[in-house]
């Protein structure tokens, strides 16, 4: 049975299936961290539903919440109708929001996937500002549908400018640390202030407080505060993509809380549905420039997902699981850093809370550990940080070389799309 299922699926599913396809496992049961294969073998599930399983598989409170809806005879799908299940979800969601947003927020249900909510956020800030461009960061991942709105009628010209995201290990300025973050912030400022850049008046800026698919790269708090200041000074709505970082994973309920900033829009999905598909944006109510009917999406009224999500949010809040993630994460980082000292193939260990990345490298290809490299290259960042403008509209590039070109108008096409990294890494 097991072999047959694997054979048929690999013959019939598209070649776009990701790394999980390489695993010869046919899970039939799951609980907590463990999944059990059809052949009786048990595994620790490190896939974790791509970050949707804040409470692990089949947590009793999630199952109970789903059962309750099923047994009550409630409609499973309600579009935008008001229901007790939805009311409970929204109430709990608002209870968790960062101060500054909790009192004046609106929510839009966007459909099943994080990418739906990202598109909705772009549409919202375009409507609110009357502008089009979006500032995003090198290494960012926001979903697979950046071209979807254009394909639906060309009403939205997707324009994305990419800016350097601060990081120590592969610092685009070669200096890392606070200095690298400062240079990255200045780069963003210089782009926004340069009359020739073509991105002086974008509709919004989108960032991940910890880049997930880009390689688990936590943004320094000070850089987050700079981005908040830079966007606030220029009336650019700041969109925090917390699809992956939310619901306690990074050691606070939402990852923006580490830096204390309040974004104008938050994009939420994955764990907020308690393992079922759910995506929303939450935003400052004065951005609500939408006319009735301006945004829709068939699967925005999934009551099972709202019930599972409400149970998950409440459980994480009541049991202070964010604090637990902070404690466990600190221990794990400490241990992993110890391993990194012993193993050359561990290039870097980084993360926040339990969102942790271990960069596995080929030691010969990475002859200089980053701290050494930083000192080797110290000073180079100054030169790089000065002019971001290299000439033609399509030649703007993020420093550091390998990052994608992509000034406004500098479109990329094909797999990965405008915003995606290597599709093989996408989940």
Residues that bind ligand PMP in the complex, under the rule CB under 6 A? 50, 113-115, 118, 141-143, 208, 212-213, 241, 243-244, 269, 427
Residue 211 CB, shortest distance to ligand PMP, in Å, is: 8
Q: How far is the CB of 243 from ligand PMP (least distance, A)?
A: 4
Task: Compute the least distance from the CB of residue 143 to ligand PMP, in Å.
Answer: 4
For ligand PMP, which residue has the nearest CB? 114
d(CA 151, CA 59): 39
Q: Which two tokens stand for residue 190?
A: 């210089």
> What are the beta bridge partners of residue 105?
284
Q: What is the DSSP string of 79-114?
A: TT---HHHHHHHHHHHHHSPTTTTTSEEEEEEESSH
Residue 144 CA to residue 408 CA, distance in Å, equals 19
Residue number with CB closer to ligand PMP (198 or 263): 263
| Identity of the residue, 272 or 310, whose beta carbon is nearer to ligand PMP in the bound complex | 272
Q: How far is the CB of 66 from ligand PMP (least distance, A)?
A: 20
CB of 334 to ligand PMP, least distance (A): 26
Q: How far is the CB of 115 from ligand PMP (least distance, A)?
A: 3
CB 98 within 8 A of CB 254: yes
Q: In this structure, which long-range contacts are made by residues 290-298, counting pairs with CB atoms below 8 Å and at least 24 apart in sequence?
A: 290/108, 290/124, 290/127, 294/123, 294/127, 295/108, 295/110, 295/120, 295/123, 295/124, 297/109, 297/110, 297/111, 297/116, 297/120, 298/111
Residue (52 or 129) nearer to ligand PMP, CB: 52
Closer by beta carbon to ligand PMP, 298 or else 375: 298
Residue 96: phi and psi, rounded to 5, are -90, -15
C-beta closer to ligand PMP: residue 151 or 393:
151
- Specify the residue, 182 or 241, whose C-beta has the smaller distance to ligand PMP: 241
Give the number of other Cβ atoms within 10 Å of residue 152's Cβ: 10
């Amino acid at each position: 049975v097991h072999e047959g299922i694997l054979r048929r699926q690999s013959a019939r599913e598209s070649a776009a299936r990701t790394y999980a396809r390489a695993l010869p496992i046919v899970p039939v049961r799951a609980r907590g961290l463990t999944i059990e294969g059809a052949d009786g073998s048990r595994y620790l599930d490190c896939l974790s539903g791509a970050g949707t399983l804040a409470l692990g598989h089949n947590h009793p409170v999630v199952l109970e919440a789903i059962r309750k809806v099923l047994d009550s005879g409630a409609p499973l799908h309600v579009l935008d109708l008001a229901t007790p299940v939805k009311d409970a979800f929204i109430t709990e969601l608002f209870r968790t929001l960062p101060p500054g947003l909790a009192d004046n927020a609106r929510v839009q249900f966007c459909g099943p996937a994080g990418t739906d909510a990202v598109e909705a956020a772009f549409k919202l800030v375009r409507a609110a500002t009357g502008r089009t461009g979006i500032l995003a960061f090198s290494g960012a991942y926001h979903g697979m549908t950046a071209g979807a709105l254009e394909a639906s009628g060309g009403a939205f010209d997707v324009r994305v400018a990419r800016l350097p995201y601060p990081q120590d290990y592969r610092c685009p300025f070669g200096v890392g640390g606070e200095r690298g973050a400062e240079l990255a912030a200045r780069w963003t400022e210089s782009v926004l202030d340069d009359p020739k850049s073509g991105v002086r008046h974008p509709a919004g800026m989108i960032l991940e407080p910890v880049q997930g698919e880009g390689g688990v790269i936590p943004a320094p708090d000070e850089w987050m505060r700079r981005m908040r200041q830079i966007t606030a000074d220029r009336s650019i709505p700041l969109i925090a993509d917390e699809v992956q970082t939310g619901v306690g994973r990074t050691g606070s309920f939402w990852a923006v809380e580490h830096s204390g900033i309040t974004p104008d829009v938050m994009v939420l999905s994955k764990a907020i549905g308690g393992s079922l598909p759910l995506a929303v944006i939450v935003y400052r109510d004065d951005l609500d420039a939408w006319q009735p009917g301006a945004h829709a999406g068939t699967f925005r009224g999934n009551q099972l997902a709202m019930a599972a999500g409400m149970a998950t949010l409440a459980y994480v809040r009541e049991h202070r699981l964010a604090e637990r993630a902070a404690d466990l994460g600190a221990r794990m980082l400490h241990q992993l850093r110890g391993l990194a000292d012993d193993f050359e193939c561990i290039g870097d260990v980084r993360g926040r809370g339990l969102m942790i990345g271990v960069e596995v490298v080929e030691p010969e290809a990475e002859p200089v550990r980053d701290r050494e490299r930083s000192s080797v290259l110290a000073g180079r960042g100054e030169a790089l940080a000065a002019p971001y403008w290299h000439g033609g509209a399509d030649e703007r590039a993020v420093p550091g070389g390998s990052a994608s070109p992509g000034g406004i108008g500098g479109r990329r096409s094909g797999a990965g799309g405008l915003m995606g990294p290597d599709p093989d890494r996408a989940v």
